[in-house]
Structure 1
Amino acid sequence: MREDEVISGEKPTQSFWGLWNISFGFFGIQIGFALQNANMSRVFQSLGSAIDDLPALWVAAPLTGLLVQPIIGHLSDRTWLGRFGRRRPYFMLGAVLAALSLFLMPLSDVLLMAALLLWVLDASLNVSMEPFRAFVGDMLRRDQHTAGYAVQTAFIGAGAVVGSIVPWVMSQIGVANIAADGGIPDTVRYSFWLGGALLFLAVLWTVLTTKEYSPSEMAQFDGGLPASGEAEQGQALASKSYLGSGVWIVAGAIVCLSVASFDLEKEMYLLGGLLVAYGILNAIAISLARGGNTTGMLTSIVGDFSGMPPIMKKLALVQFFSWSALFIMWINTTPVVTQYVYNSTDTGSAAYNEGANWVGWLFAVYNGVAAVAALTLLPWLSRKFGKAKTHIFGLLCGALGFASFFVIRDPELLLVSEIGIGIAWASILAMPYAILASSLPQAKLGIFMGLFNIFVVVPQLLVATVMGSIMQAFFPGEPIWTMAFAAGTLVLAALAMMRVEVPGESR
């Protein structure tokens, strides 16, 4: 049966359990991300970090994603290890390293150790996560892409619920929620260890229950494109001027000079350094392409980045604003809730730790809502109104959720805020990828998904480097105003989404 379908040029239709197995590993990966998102600010503050220093400590997470995902996408497109497959070796490598990082993180006794382990943890999670995005496109027919990413989003939501509430559950069964020495509580310590085990087992499930299509099979499927298109991409890169590289370098230099001239937050040096680094790499890639090296990693990545399909460029702007809001939320929800709802900024107090645990519940609710919305609300809206309008609706729901933090001071009412944020989260995780998967060349699905992640990572770097300066200058000690920025950026994302034209849908 499978051979007939391969010969006909169509991938087999996956059953419910096929969809389940393809994405179940993401359940474990998201447990790791949820533990990180809900608890790392708490870990950093418990080890002595001030609120204004949190963005700088969090910068490791998006920076590792920026570096890792395009590289892993490029490599996984070109990997074939026989029965071990194309994407699955990267799943397992990342899972093993992430599980080790989660085991070691709660043993940190100094701030530097925790920051370094966050770097390793996020790099490892990205090694596993990036191929999973391409894996859905590899394994499913085009008419199942929306269903595939919806199931993946549901597992992301379910994994995040588990990761978010584990510290609270631990406290309910009698595990100490306050460390005697003011360090990392046992609730967080045991949660990280349990999360590491679940992450590894979930990824192992997907590795053992799926079989990837060989290169020869992929070549027969409708939409499969040979890798020989790289030569044309390399030639296009070789024809580019060095002027663009110079612009990036000058922009980075201006940022660095501004930090020194106007006494801005030192984290902005990182932003300037990244701009300079990209300008230099861009110039090197152009030089290599002109010299005939059009298939190397650097020339391929830079060439694919500059040659992104138009729909991907428009969605990139949407992602930029969307993920700015999400990163603001992950960094600042704990300080906002503990300070404005539980009236405590003392990390050693019972009120602060009760508030921090409640943040875990808030994160669990928005992820639970996302899991349900991904399988019910979003598919219905997508069929009725189209993917673009559905995504606009989801983003505006999130904006309302963030704005409500200004008026709600009852911790239980904040659960209502998380409903809107959960709908937005589901849409952000599903709709852009469903739109892209059917529009990208199959042979480059990994690298394009990795490059798309740049527009997830860059806004997080901007938040980590710029938000501290803005808050220190205009709202010192008042983290509630970060929620205004989060609401505003989601409105901008919705406006940008109005420019995206999905084939077959009216604008």
Structure 2
Amino acid sequence: MTPKPRLSFWQIWNMSFGFLGIQFGFALQGGFMSRIFQTLGAEKDSLPLLWIAAPLTGLLVQPVIGYFSDRTWHPWLGRRRPYFLAGAILSSIALVFMPHSPTLWVAAGLLWVLDASINISMEPFRALVADKLPESQRSYGFVLQTLIIGIGTWLASNLPWLVARLGVPNEAGPGVVPPSVKIAFAIGAFVFLASILITVLTTREYPPEDSEGFRATRDAQGGLVGEIVHHVVHMPTQMRRLGVVQFFSWLAFFAMWSMATPGLTEHVFKAPAPDPAAFDMAVPAQAAAFQSANAAFQDAADLVGSYMGYYGLSSMLVALLLSLYAARLPLNRRAVHAGSLVLGGLGFLSMWFVPQPAWLILSFALVGVAWASILSMPYALLSSHVPADRMGIYMGIFNMFIVIPQIVAATLLGPALRGFFGNQPIFALVISGASLLLAALSLLRVQEHGASAEPAPFSSQVH
């Protein structure tokens, strides 16, 4: 196999830039879907189950997209970029229509479409890093992706708050999503498509070294389901061990995405979502009381989203530091990941007893340290353990360890909160903290090889 050339900073930046848009989609979904669901009348303990569309979609889509992207070669778009573009178009459409959902079931259905579309774009991005970069630059490449993801998380999480500060109304009638959220989602749709286009237009992929052999191998493969099952059964030991770490890591973040809004608006801000059925709108005093309670909830939800943005900002700074370090020196990825998960777990646990809302900035900043590591270190630890010609399908299968814990949380978190925690959603975040600590403990079984031994140059020149 011909050695892959080392790439410059800007080449890696451009090939990863589409993640800015992907993260706009994920951050708007993660920060504001529960707010949309609650505005449309969802009970707080039903929120995790409403979110189940997202992980179920990922469970089906990611290995399938990985399978087909391994077998794709377009003379201009290459192997992975056709999927970037298709997913971006579908995601942008879903983002525009999501906050205009007239009913709860429409919003849940659009979440399904949105998450499927984001996964179509996201999974091949992970494979692209392994496709394009030599082993010595992979940690650097995944960390640089995380830097871009952090920027997207922080910007998108603050969009509704910023739009409201610019004078767009942040309140609406019962069952209607505020205009500030609608405009924020429309901006997110534009950023998603534009950033993906930058990657598509500035990045070229390596064609198969043996075109005839590539076609013969592609055509000789068995069926889709059979091959996925084969690779699941015969996955590398490193993938299985990292899968346990991923399980606890992503269970924690799913609990945050689905329950942070009700948990923090209720426990920290003392402004839970009002139930329209508890107010007689025909009585002026009752209608005014509802509007007051709803305004308090919407303002608190804006601040929850804004504070959540600090985990994106923190992850961006951590990724920047890691990229500067990995550009020059070998990185002990297992140690970095374990320490980051512990800090993130402490951040989640601190949310239960913060003395005032502003302290959530520190809590989410600690969570961001874990987020930066989760988005880079597991993939760097895995990439040298899977064959290059099956990178797409293995990355898709590995991402199943992301969606399975989310399905578990979606089905069990609501009943657990009702049965053991008095239906107080703040305890979902306590569960998140404990889960990250278990993820850190699980890393003891993961191997750390000297895979990132040669430092990657932090320069604008091709080497």
The verdict on a shared fold, with TM-score over 0.5 as the criterion, is: yes
Counterpart code for 1:412: A
Structure 1 residues 387-466: aligned runs within 5 Å: 387-466=333-412
Counterpart code for 1:328: A
- The DSSP-based 3-state class of the residue aligned with 2:17 is helix
Change (3 A) 1:423 1:381: farther
Residue 17 (structure 2) aligns with: 24
Change (3 A) 1:378 1:428: farther
Please, which of 41, 45, 53 is the counterpart of residue 34 of structure 2?
41
Q: CA deviation at 1:409?
A: 3.5
Asked if 2 retains the 8 angstrom alpha-carbon contact of 1:366 and 1:419, the reply is yes
Counterpart code for 2:131: D
1:70 aligns with 2:63: yes
Counterpart code for 2:234: G
Q: CA deviation at 1:374?
A: 1.1
- The DSSP-based 3-state class of the residue aligned with 1:376 is helix
Asked if 1 retains the 8 angstrom alpha-carbon contact of 2:24 and 2:192, the reply is yes
Q: CA deviation at 1:381?
A: 8.8
Distance across 2 between alignment mates of 1:421 and 1:26: 20
Distance across 1 between alignment mates of 2:346 and 2:100: 39
Counterpart code for 1:301: I
Asked if 2 retains the 8 angstrom alpha-carbon contact of 1:230 and 1:300, the reply is no
Q: CA deviation at 1:230?
A: 9.7
Residue 298 (structure 2) aligns with: 353
Change (3 A) 1:379 1:432: farther
Please, which of 237, 245, 248 is the counterpart of residue 310 of structure 1?
237
Give structure 1 stretches of 5+ with no counterpart. Answer: 1-7, 220-224, 232-292
Counterpart code for 2:382: L
Residue 166 (structure 1) aligns with: 159
Distance across 2 between alignment mates of 1:471 and 1:303: 38
Asked if 2 retains the 8 angstrom alpha-carbon contact of 1:95 and 1:128, the reply is yes
1:376 aligns with 2:321: yes
- The DSSP-based 3-state class of the residue aligned with 2:357 is coil
Asked if 2 retains the 8 angstrom alpha-carbon contact of 1:378 and 1:427, the reply is no
Structure 1 residues 82-231: aligned runs within 5 Å: 82-216=75-209
1:59 aligns with 2:5: no
Counterpart code for 2:338: I
Q: CA deviation at 1:138?
A: 0.7
Distance across 2 between alignment mates of 1:424 and 1:27: 19
Asked if 2 retains the 8 angstrom alpha-carbon contact of 1:59 and 1:465, the reply is yes
Residue 265 (structure 1) aligns with: none
Q: 1 or 2 for the larger relative contact order (CA 8 Å, sep ≥6)? A: 2
Residue 280 (structure 2) aligns with: none
Asked if 1 retains the 8 angstrom alpha-carbon contact of 2:310 and 2:364, the reply is yes
Asked if 2 retains the 8 angstrom alpha-carbon contact of 1:227 and 1:443, the reply is no
Q: CA deviation at 1:439?
A: 2.1
Change (3 A) 1:500 1:425: same
Percent of aligned pairs sharing the same letter: 44
* Cα deviation digits, residues 428-454 of structure 1 (max 9, x gap): 001001111222110000000000011
Change (3 A) 1:60 1:38: same
Residue 246 (structure 1) aligns with: none
Asked if 1 retains the 8 angstrom alpha-carbon contact of 2:30 and 2:257, the reply is yes
Asked if 1 retains the 8 angstrom alpha-carbon contact of 2:48 and 2:259, the reply is no
Distance across 2 between alignment mates of 1:228 and 1:151: 35
Distance across 1 between alignment mates of 2:355 and 2:112: 34
- The DSSP-based 3-state class of the residue aligned with 1:82 is coil
* Cα deviation digits, residues 43-70 of structure 1 (max 9, x gap): 0000000001101110000100000000
Q: CA deviation at 1:163?
A: 1.1
Asked if 1 retains the 8 angstrom alpha-carbon contact of 2:64 and 2:396, the reply is yes
Asked if 1 retains the 8 angstrom alpha-carbon contact of 2:14 and 2:198, the reply is yes
Q: CA deviation at 1:377?
A: 4.5
Residue 4 (structure 1) aligns with: none
Counterpart code for 1:186: P
Change (3 A) 1:227 1:154: farther
Q: CA deviation at 1:217?
A: 7.0
1:470 aligns with 2:408: no
Distance across 2 between alignment mates of 1:120 and 1:388: 35
Q: CA deviation at 1:411?
A: 1.2
Asked if 2 retains the 8 angstrom alpha-carbon contact of 1:31 and 1:195, the reply is yes
Counterpart code for 1:312: M
Q: CA deviation at 1:181?
A: 4.0
Please, which of 72, 78, 87 is the counterpart of residue 79 of structure 1?
72
- The DSSP-based 3-state class of the residue aligned with 1:216 is coil
Residue 286 (structure 2) aligns with: none
Distance across 1 between alignment mates of 2:258 and 2:12: 33
1:324 aligns with 2:269: no
Give structure 2 stretches of 5+ with no counterpart. Answer: 275-292, 452-463
Asked if 2 retains the 8 angstrom alpha-carbon contact of 1:324 and 1:459, the reply is yes
Asked if 1 retains the 8 angstrom alpha-carbon contact of 2:139 and 2:326, the reply is no
Counterpart code for 1:343: K
Distance across 1 between alignment mates of 2:376 and 2:107: 32
Distance across 2 between alignment mates of 1:416 and 1:441: 41
Asked if 1 retains the 8 angstrom alpha-carbon contact of 2:92 and 2:189, the reply is yes
Q: CA deviation at 1:9?
A: 2.1
Asked if 2 retains the 8 angstrom alpha-carbon contact of 1:378 and 1:390, the reply is no
- The DSSP-based 3-state class of the residue aligned with 2:351 is helix
Distance across 1 between alignment mates of 2:178 and 2:66: 37
Distance across 2 between alignment mates of 1:448 and 1:465: 26
| TM-score with structure 2 setting the length | 0.89
Asked if 1 retains the 8 angstrom alpha-carbon contact of 2:41 and 2:175, the reply is no
Q: CA deviation at 1:380?
A: 4.0
* Cα deviation digits, residues 236-256 of structure 1 (max 9, x gap): xxxxxxxxxxxxxxxxxxxxx
Asked if 1 retains the 8 angstrom alpha-carbon contact of 2:91 and 2:113, the reply is yes
Q: CA deviation at 1:328?
A: 0.7
- The DSSP-based 3-state class of the residue aligned with 1:122 is helix
Asked if 1 retains the 8 angstrom alpha-carbon contact of 2:144 and 2:323, the reply is no
Q: CA deviation at 1:229?
A: 8.9
